[in-house]
Amino acid sequence: MLQVLCAFALVAAVGSSAPADGTKKDETRYRIQKDISYLEEGSKASPYQLERSRLDLYYPENKTDFATVVWFHGGGLTGGSRHIPAGLKDQGIAVVAANYRLHPKVTCPAYLQDAAAAVAWTFRNIEKHGGDPAKIFVSGHSAGGYLTSMIGIDKRWLAEYDIDADRIAGLIPLSGHTITHMTVRKERGIPKTQPLVDAFAPLYHVRPDAPPILLITGDREMEMLGRYEENAYFMRMLRVVGHKDVTLHELQGHGHGMVAPAMSPMLRWLRARASCAGAKAMDGVTDGQLYAKVEEAWRATWDRFYDERTHLFYDRVCSYDAAKRLAYLPTPKEIHRQYPNRNGWGTGMEDCAISAGVILSMICDRFAVTGDRGLRAAAEKVFAGMVLLGTLSPSKGFVIRGVCPADGRSHYCESSRDQYTWYVYGLWRYYHSPLSTAAEKAKMREIISAICARMDRNVVAKHDYHIGREDGTFDGLVDKMWNNEAHEIARLPMIYAIGADLTGASRWRDAARRLSPEAAAQSAEKSTTILYAMLQQQVSLEALYELEESSQLKAKWLACMRLTAGRAEAGCLYGRGYRVQDLGKLNMDWRTWPIRESRGYRIPTLPEVCKREDRTIRQPAEAALVQLLLPRPRLTSKQLAAIRRAIAQVDYSKIITYGLYYTQAVYWRGVRLGVFELPRDRR
């Protein structure tokens, strides 16, 4: 699966390059500094060593956090000189091209010592030029490939400089020896056709915890001296000892001089891993630890927030006792009185439609990554809850916020554009997932047709563009769908566009086309700073972008998505300040909380502990999702590190509010895009 995901890796992790969506390439300026000594200050060196221990540095001068490739030239350890491969230029990355001493003026291990010194220089200095030291890759061709493998697999060479070889983000040897190099064998009087595996062979040092490795060779029938077979055996033995991230790429139709065609698979592979490398180094959270936390969140979602009577997920829990965890929910009698307000705000069953859309979308991403058919049962339950919300009301097309588990029917009479946004988006994602069945698709078409018909009927000027309550009144606070704010204006055309996509009805397609130009123009305007509202804007924009047929409008939707992502990106850092709460010491009965008045609505005021969880769990996850909904996300290593920490720091067995739905959505969307990686034993 990871090899498939490489094609979707984040270009932003390594800098700018031509976007696949046809938009204009970033204006990146490059600088080259030549003839830099990589020897440590004060080193005693011969004139020849001083001459050869030099490198050229090519890097983007107006970018930061870019990846770097340390490149070693080929030449059999007897010739060659440093150069920047043409295929690595203008790719948003830095290249460190290093010379090293050559036979016969020196003998082994001088070549390896020089290669290690050049890599050590890069670790010590690349940050000064804007590069990310956690995104340093080592590569080279032929003899350079041999040096690449040796200093990355045998840790002693970099240890001389107090650098752990495992800090290397990836090794990419091109047609390199994996047995002892033929020149090293020549020094011992061994012919180049006589193989040898000793301490100067990468094969000798195979280990399960080496950095990720991409082996690239020419065609096995055109390569020199069995080079393909060497690399194939190297890959096999790495896998035998337990290495989980090694790949061999054979370039059909190319011989040993295969550097140019190797650049494309090399860059794809590099970009996928660069997006994760910086964040891991900064946050100290391993892939295994992150996955374990997400699994903990998954269990808590079902064990603590889900009620099988309604197949819905509620907003808060009030007890560690499984029988009492949802005891705070309003009773049928309270709901019949529409107490405390007609939206059910403050009661804990106000956002079930939103949560169902978030969770169902997350399951779709998880299945796309894992192919786990066991997710079918989970998706079926979530969908059953969504059907209840979309069909229980006698008012056609009315999406209920939440349903009381005590009787499976009682609900509040007012909904919101936010409920509709996530609800429709979740259905759309599920409709196009292999998890959904033909019968479920038919039910989705029925529901979305009713929703679109309600919009067409109610969202008109005489109702001031409100969806309308279940009772037929139109003065709700949060259900206005048109002629509204910039972060809200895309919701209505999104619903129509999805309606057209699911049903094929030209009526809804025409409605989306009629509204989209105005919505695209207004969506670019600055509006809210509230993260959940920006996220709902972004899911609307994503659907419109994916479904848009006009290239001009598609570009406008994408521009709006990028603006929204830019406005939300600071929220990725909000995870600081999280603290585990003890439910045993908290009063979670909303009936006893202070009441605040808002435009005629009496709303119980959430206690500070709930607000703190919202700020440190849900909000950073919402900000991250805003970024990850982009076709080409642009998260920095610092943002990724903050997101990983925010997910990993939570004790999900003690969580009170529903931010855990969003942290899981971030993780699985991120894995799908190559931002996060599954632990090796789960790939």
Instruction: Kindly report each contact of residues 159-163 with a partner whose C-beta sits within 8 Å and lies 24 or more positions away, as own/partner.
Output: 160/113, 160/116, 161/40, 161/116, 161/117, 161/120, 161/123, 163/119, 163/120, 163/123
User: Residue 663 and residue 674: Cα distance in Å, rounded?
Assistant: 16
Do 287-682 and 29-278 fall under one CATH topology? no
Q: Are 604 and 589 in contact (CB under 8 A)?
A: no
> Confidence class of residue 12 from pLDDT cuts 50, 70 and 90?
very low
Q: Between residues 277 and 627, which one has the greater pLDDT?
A: 627
At 134 the pLDDT is 86
For 69, the enclosing helix (H) or strand (E) is strand 66-72
Looking at residues 601-627, what average pLDDT do you find? 94
Read out DSSP for 146-187? HHHHHHHHSTHHHHTTT--GGGSSEEEEES--SSS-HHHHHH
Which stretches of 260-370 are assigned E, i.e. beta strand? 306-307, 312-313
At 283 the pLDDT is 62
- Would you say residue 19 has pLDDT above 70? no
Beta bridge partners of 403: none
At 683 the pLDDT is 72
Asked whether the CA dihedral 444, 445, 449, 452 is positive or negative, the reply is positive
Q: Which CATH code fits 29-278?
A: 3.40.50.1820
Lowest mean pLDDT among 100-109, 393-402, 571-580, 608-617: 571-580
Amino acid at 499: G
Q: Exposure of 456 by Cβ count < 10 A (0-12 exposed, 13-18 middle, 19+ buried)? A: middle
The string of pLDDT tens digits covering residues 453-485 is 999 999 999 999 999 999 999 999 999 999 999
Alpha helices in 134-286 (DSSP H): 143-153, 156-159, 182-187, 227-240, 259-283
At 279 the pLDDT is 58
Percent of the chain whose pLDDT exceeds 90: 82
At 25 the pLDDT is 43
How big is the CA angle at 259 (ends 253 and 262), to the nearest 5 degrees?
70
- Would you say residue 14 has pLDDT above 60? no
The dihedral region occupied by 458, where left means phi > 0, alpha psi between -120 and 50, and beta the remainder, is: alpha
> Confidence class of residue 278 from pLDDT cuts 50, 70 and 90?
low
DSSP letter (8 states) at residue 32: E
Instruction: Kindly report each contact of residues 445-450 with a partner whose C-beta sits within 8 Å and lies 24 or more positions away, as own/partner.
Output: 445/502, 445/503, 447/387, 447/390, 447/391, 448/424, 448/495, 448/498, 448/499, 448/502, 448/503, 449/499, 449/503, 449/505, 450/390, 450/396, 450/397
Domain ranges of the chain: 29-278, 287-682
> Confidence class of residue 2 from pLDDT cuts 50, 70 and 90?
very low
Alpha helices in 392-437 (DSSP H): 417-431
User: Residue 435 and residue 426: Cα distance in Å, rounded?
Assistant: 13
Q: Supply 186's token pair.
A: 């020549």
At 276 the pLDDT is 65
Q: Are 418 and 532 in contact (CB under 8 A)?
A: yes
Fold of domain 287-682: Glycosyltransferase (1.50.10)
pLDDT, mean over the chain: 92
User: Residue 659 and residue 641: Cα distance in Å, rounded?
Assistant: 19
Looking at residues 401-418, what average pLDDT do you find? 98
The string of pLDDT tens digits covering residues 98-135 is 999 999 999 999 999 999 999 999 999 999 999 988 89
The string of pLDDT tens digits covering residues 529-556 is 999 999 999 999 999 999 999 999 999 9
pTM score of the predicted model:
0.68
Beta bridge partners of 138: 70, 171
At 277 the pLDDT is 65
DSSP letter (8 states) at residue 466: B
Q: Between residues 462 and 16, which one has the greater pLDDT?
A: 462
Residue with tokens 């001493």: 101
The string of pLDDT tens digits covering residues 637-674 is 778 888 999 999 999 999 999 999 999 999 999 999 88
> Confidence class of residue 21 from pLDDT cuts 50, 70 and 90?
very low
DSSP percent split of the chain into helix, strand, coil, nearest 5? 50, 10, 40
Asked whether the CA dihedral 180, 182, 186, 190 is positive or negative, the reply is positive
Residue with tokens 């996300």: 633
DSSP letter (8 states) at residue 480: B
